[in-house]
Structure formats: structure tokens, C-alpha cells
Amino acid sequence: DWFRLSVDGYDGDGVAVGSVDFYLADFRSAAAAEDYILADWAWLDLSSLGAVKQLGFRLDSSDSNYGFPNTPTYFALDDLQFVPEPGTALLLGAGLLGLGLRRRTR
């Protein structure tokens, strides 16, 4: 059995550019010592997706009925980092500067 999180990356037009699979539980190995259920925070490197505009998340399990997993389907995100495009950063900076100047003139 297994429980998998798939993260899909999409470009600005909504076209999928890649996917990264991460097993939250995996009991497929012939060696029982390699079987696991993830119990702690784990780092998932999405750099192979390249520059993407959005992420999509899918959960899937080998334990399912009628196309739906029997496994509870949840996961947590923490410390998600993103880098704004230069144009977006420039607009944000200009907006903050404008707000600062407006407040100063009042």
C-alpha cells in the first residue's frame, strides 16, 4: 500500500509544466525495514518544476473504493517560499512608496 502527494506546477497560461510525487506512506518494498509512514516534517524540493505561476495538489492511495481513497486525505504546508517576478516586485515597491509619500503629505 502507499499514500502519495503529487504537486503539479502550471505556467501563466494554466498549462501543466511538471509534477513531483512524494510518498507520505509507502509499504511497497520487499524489505519490511524500508516501509514507513511519515511522522515528521519533511522537505519537498519543487525546484524541478522551474518557474511556475501556480501549484496544484493531488492525494492518491492504493487503498481506495469507488475511486476515492479510504486513507484520510490531508497534509500540511509550512515555510512555503516564493520569489516574485521582477515586474511584480517593482509594482509592489512603487505602490508602497506611493503610500508612504501620501501619508507623509497628510
For residue range 52-94, list pLDDT tens digits in order: 889 999 999 999 898 888 888 888 888 777 666 666 666 677 7
Sheet hosting strand 36-37, strand order edge to edge: 36-37, 16-26, 2-10, 54-61
**Secondary structure letter of residue 32 according to DSSP:** G
Range with the largest mean pLDDT of 4-13, 42-51, 67-76, 90-99: 4-13
Q: Is the pLDDT of residue 49 over 60?
A: yes
- Provide mean pLDDT across the span 22-50: 92
Q: In 10 A of CB 66, how many CB atoms?
A: 4
Q: In 10 A of CB 13, how many CB atoms?
A: 7
pLDDT at residue 51 in the model: 85
Q: What global pTM score does this model have?
A: 0.71
